[in-house]
Amino acid sequence: MYRDRSRYKMFTRRALMLSGGQAVLLSALATRMYYLQVIESARYQVLAEENRINLRLLLPSRGRIVDRFGVELAVNEKSYRVVIVSEQTKDVEETLDKLGAIISLSDYERRRVRHEIKRRRGFFPITVRENLVWEEVAKIEVNAPDLPGVMIDVGQSRRYPHAAAAAHLLGYVAAVSEAELTGEPLLALPEFRVGKGGIEKVHDLRLRGKAGASEVEVNAIGRAIRELARREGQPGDEVVLSIDMALQKFAYDRLGDESASVVVMDVHSGEVLALVSTPSFDPNAFTKGITTAYWRELTGNLRAPLTNKAVTGQYAPGSAIKMVVALAALEGGILTPDHKVFCKGYIQLGNARFHCWKKHGHGHTDMYKGIQQSCDVFFYDVARRTGVDRIAAMAERFGLGQLLDIGLPGERRGLIPTRDWKLANKGVPWQLGETLIAGIGQGFVLSTPLQLAVMAARLANGGRAVKPTLVRSVRRAGEGKTADTGAEPPDFPEIKIGKASLEFITGAMNAVTNTPRGTAYRARIKEPGMAMAGKTGTSQVRRISMSERQSGLIKNKQKPWIERDHAVFVGFAPVHDPRYAVAVVVEHGGGGSKVAAPIARDVLLETQRRDPSGVSGPQRFARG
């Protein structure tokens, strides 16, 4: 008993200790619960939501690009791909066999599918092939009962109905590259396409639209259980270009195989009606995924099909610059139109001889004739008297030597040299001889076809500093013509040139094409009321050596293509009330009058026939 009692006492004591210990441990549990479920509760609620809610982005529909008349230039069309869901088919190989019988699967495709099936969960759809043609889709659908787990998925892909004709303008869309990832989740979606080059790139953000989102409840392995909420996205905005696609196509076809560019613009509003560069490429090839062979072909081609020559190509304008040189002299009070020079085929300056293109010279030449017959000697003289800096200043007023902000990637600013420029960039002072050749648009002088068109427009519209525009409006999809304001063009500032001077110059340009002695007479427009005025130019690529001159200048025809001169022509029409201006540059085309002028004639004729500015836009632009 005694023993039991003391044992009992010990037992009681220890029992209390033990139960006390247990109580402590239990309260530790309770404390932990408090910590997790009260103190940290908010944090865990967020994590719980993140667990179970998966935000799936809904791809927005990309905005269309249309021309001024609503003709579709870039649209979306349905693209079909066939997918397989492995958990819905008992035997993947068998199903693939059956599918292969319908659309003929390559070994590579089958291997890829097998590999993906192993990697992914059973409910994840694996793409077998993309961009199916309608026939294939129909066949698969018809055979659906025999193809368990095989489904057609509809997506969107970009199509350019006019393919190469407007390729440089529009650009193309392709998958997002590593460098372009900004962290925005939409860009990370594999099906998302981003604009590259051209309008697609410049207006990408607005064309893109806004992604919608679907809140999906998922379980631990990522299977979607149900959709909790859906927020529809917004389709991309539409971009309306000032381009007249029919005219663009006409110009593109007219250029044919040449490596050339054409720019047509409205002289008053600055709207660009056509902007063509050849050779071109098929932007649709990029949408589907360009083949290495085609890519190599494009990048390896010496004629640079991927370059937009109209804004990126920099050429010596040659004689096309003579109007500006003349105006520099007139406005500087240095010369009058009566100034005469005797052209004997060359001019001597120190040791150097500067030649006129006409071997034996033009004889007595005044300013009118100098332009009409493009006498180089006359303009050497004008340039010498005027000085390169004055010429440069006038050139800038007519849009040369600067970026015009047309809104296309790759725009170049050309080059109008000045004395300061030469000292700063070449380290040596300007030479007088360089002034002379600048006077005929050679030497350091460089301009793009776009700049030449703008120059022609500014000459034609009575002296307003018109700027080229490409986009008429960007509007919500589906708003149609109602939102197409064809808004008031900005009032362009005047260039502040004497009216008389300008009229004289444009009159001389008229002589170039419409008088028998004019260098472009053969390319004149004969249709009444649609006459064209302009200026030819031949841009030298290679210095002509003395020996060549003596033995007889080699005709362009006989030189290898790459050594031939570029052919240049700028013009406007109709002469009596100018509306449209054009610039044509044909690389290695040879003579401006022979090659470039006829193209300009055809294009301006077509432009006037179509009269794109007249049809759609109001005609109340301030003139002169």
Is position 622 an interface residue for another protein (rule: CB under 8 A)? no
d(CA 409, CA 199): 8
Query: Considering the rule CB under 8 A, would residue 122 count as an interface residue with another protein?
Result: no
CB 284, min distance to another protein, A: 43
**Three-state DSSP string of 123-171:** CCEEEEEEEECHHHHHHHHHCHHHCCCEEEEEEEEEECCCHHHHHHHHC
Peptide bond into 574 cis (omega under 30): yes
- Does 7 interact with another protein (rule: CB under 8 A)? yes
| 6 counts as binding another protein under rule CB under 8 A | yes
Regarding 215 and contact with another protein (CB under 8 A), the answer is: no
SS3 track for 558-594: HCCHHHCCEEEEEEEECCCCCCEEEEEEECCCCCHHH
Tell the smallest beta-carbon distance from residue 122 to another protein (Å): 15
Q: Does residue number 561 form part of the binding site for another protein (CB under 8 A)?
A: no
Establish if 302 lies at the interface with another protein (CB under 8 A): no
When binding is defined by CB under 8 A, the residue of 131, 219, 402, 485 that contacts another protein is: 219
- Tokens in use for 566? 């570029």
Cα–Cα distance measured from residue 245 to residue 346, given in angstroms and rounded to the nearest whole number: 46
- DSSP H or E stretch at residue 597: helix 597-610
**Residue 229 near another protein by CB under 8 A:** no
* 55 is an interface residue for another protein by CB under 8 A: no
Give the alpha-carbon dihedral of 152, 153, 156, 162, to 10 degrees. -20
Give min distance, CB of 215 to another protein, in A. 13
- Using the rule CB under 8 A, is 144 a contact of another protein? no
SS3 label, residue 24:
helix
User: Does the annotation count 214 as an active-site position?
Assistant: no
**Residue 142 lies near another protein (rule: CB under 8 A):** no
* CB of 42 or CB of 546, closer to another protein: 42
CA-closest candidate to residue 407, choices 486, 465, 469: 469
Q: Residue 14 or 623: which CB sits closer to another protein?
A: 14
User: Per CB under 8 A, which region of 32-40, 268-276, 381-389, 500-508 contacts another protein?
Assistant: 32-40
Among the listed residues 157, 319, 447, 539, the single catalytic one is: 319
For another protein, which stretch binds (CB under 8 A), given 17-25, 417-425, 459-467, 601-609? 17-25
Neighbouring-strand partners of residue 75: 159
What is the identity of the amino acid at 496?
K
Q: State which of positions 501-560 bind another protein (CB under 8 A).
A: none
d(CA 335, CA 59): 65
Question: Residue 144 or 224: which CB sits closer to another protein?
Answer: 224
**Distance of alpha carbon 234 from alpha carbon 246, whole angstroms:** 31
Q: Is 12 in the site for another protein (CB under 8 A)?
A: yes
Residues that bind another protein (CB under 8 A): 1, 3-8, 10-12, 14-15, 18-19, 22, 25-26, 28-30, 32-34, 36-38, 40-41, 43-45, 47-48, 51-52, 217-221, 225
Q: Catalogue the active-site residues.
A: 319
